[in-house]
Amino acid sequence: MSAFMPQKRISRSPNGCNAKPIALALTQDERTAVERLAQRESRSLAAMSRLLVLKGLQASGHPVH
């Protein structure tokens, strides 16, 4: 029996949200800022980027589910 037990990966995103990934171009300063936010909130860079996009959509009046 192995001492290493793989942990179940926990997703904070709703099912199906990663079906069509998009590329996102950021300046180095923007990327650094997003990386710092992600680290502070214990999120992946992708999860933090998604959260920021959703907040931007909400701020511009688009409904987000």
Question: So what's the pLDDT on residue 64?
Answer: 83
For residues 36-63, one letter each, b for 16 or more C-beta atoms within 10 angstroms of the residue's C-beta and e for the rest, the string is eebeeeebeeebbbbbeeeeeeeeeeee
- Does residue 26 or residue 1 have the better pLDDT? 26
Question: So what's the pLDDT on residue 17?
Answer: 72
Question: pLDDT grade, residue 20 (50/70/90)?
Answer: confident
Global confidence as pTM: 0.71
**For residue range 24-60, what is the model confidence (pLDDT) as tens digits?**
999 999 999 999 999 999 999 998 999 999 999 999 9
Please give the Cα distance from 34 to 36 (Å, whole number): 5
